[in-house]
Structure 1
């Protein structure tokens, strides 16, 4: 395995210091925290829901593609007994910030951040080297709206550096047989998602739509695929973020594990 990209962020001289325009947010889970740039792309409910939706078993090796600030690996480190978690992020400044969050939480021995393009992942890690993959990829087509291809927010939101097909095809090749793929995306892309997952042998197994309120259309979907799985798709009960009074639903409170030490 080529650890060049990881080692550039690793070493005794690196500290989890806070830079200008950065803040530390308490994740209210086992004392875990995350460093975020107030002017950059901060994590949202979609990342939290993905980390909860992903079923990770003890000792498994997990890859988070397009990890951004590292929120999904941090939450999975707190919620699961995964053996090793790799976060892959193409933006060097964001990857470096994510690595400092791992140091801040003292989980850098278990969670490693690589500053790499996902299209180089196979060269670095090899085929069929992961038990599970999570991803919260850009939702918007590269051509939808005028974007600056070097802008951090644009890279996070638009298919500038990678496409949905890139994410699914690379994930399929990285996963072991019967490996599991977990993704959060937009409902309007479901046809593309199901088509590409089946094309690349990630058989869709579970879908869950996320609604902002009861009676409102879904604005997120969570989906699981099984490499070389048999055809059978389960539609789970819808997940509502807010109840009719504008408060978080009981299930969302449980997912966020509010009040847990």
Structure 2
């Protein structure tokens, strides 16, 4: 049996999950802005539950909901939530996003996060493994994601997402058609000379000037930058 991944305040079992803990999820969990007013959080496509757990550690939100369509991943997230210090305020739903949006029409969340499926060009018939399914947009197209978010986000709420840099323009256009506007964009690079691989973006219903930053992860192989270390220091036992 695989040993759970240990963080400072919680552990994450991931033996049943197609998508293991990776930099994208940890980045999103650490980078996402959380104000003291955030009372309800939703994590769409929870996987192991890592992002929801990080946000539980960082906030006093009374409600931390997560949504996961894959049965094995859902069971794993539930187990990880129950074994965490915040099990009493964490809940995972096993459903598709469209069903969830329909069911929760009257619910509004102050913060919604998603590390969504990435491979836009994979058709459902080409998906052979659960890892590919977890990474394929066929399971949750950006249009459906942004439309649902616009219905579930509170008036002053924030939606936070991590996506491949090349998907940024598409996401901004789809968001805008759902009256969601970017207010912070952090471009993520592996090293100073590497090209930008990921964009971390927060959206709100309010249009304002976009705060732009670049985050570099490593100075050299396994030698992390002070900025990245500072960001993930509350979580990793050692870096």
* TM-score, normalisation: structure 2: 0.91
The answer as to whether partners of 1:213 and 1:241 remain within 8 angstroms in 2 is yes
Greater than 6 Å deviation, 4+ residue runs:
none
The equivalent position to 1:173 in structure 2, one of 121, 136, 151, is 151
Out of 208, 217, 222, the position equivalent to 1:241 is: 217
1:164 to 119, 127, 142: 142
| C-alpha separation in 1, matches of 2:83 and 2:39 | 23
Shift of 1:242: 0.5
Instruction: Pick closer, same or farther for the CA change 1:186–1:23 going to 2, 3 Å.
Output: same
What value does the CA root-mean-square deviation take over the aligned residues? 2.0
Asked if structure 2 preserves the Cα contact closer than 8 Å seen for 1:138 and 1:156, the reply is yes
**SS in structure 2 at match of 1:139:** coil
Could you tell me which residue of structure 2 aligns to residue 16 of structure 1?
A: none
Per-residue CA deviations over 1:108-162 (Å, capped at 9, x if unaligned) read 211111111011122222245111100000111143797326x320121111211
Unpaired runs of 5+ residues, structure 1, are 1-20
Report the Cα offset of residue 82 of structure 1: 1.9
Any residues of structure 2 matched to 1:73-88 within 5 Å, and which? 73-88=52-67
Counterpart contact for 2:53–2:81, Cα < 8 Å = yes
2:109 is aligned to 130
**Counterparts of 2:11 and 2:108, CA distance in 1:** 29
More helix by share: 2
2:88 to 109, 115, 134: 109
> How far is the alpha carbon of 1:245 from its aligned partner?
5.8
Whole-Å separation in 1 of the counterparts to 2:97 and 2:17: 25
| 3-state SS of paired residue (1:179) | strand
* Partner residue, 2:27: 49
Q: How many residues align?
A: 235
- Larger Cα Rg: Structure 1 or Structure 2? 1
Kindly indicate whether the alpha-carbon contact (under 8 Å) linking 2:117 and 2:139 is maintained by their aligned counterparts in 1.
no
Q: Deviation of residue 44 (structure 1)? A: 0.6
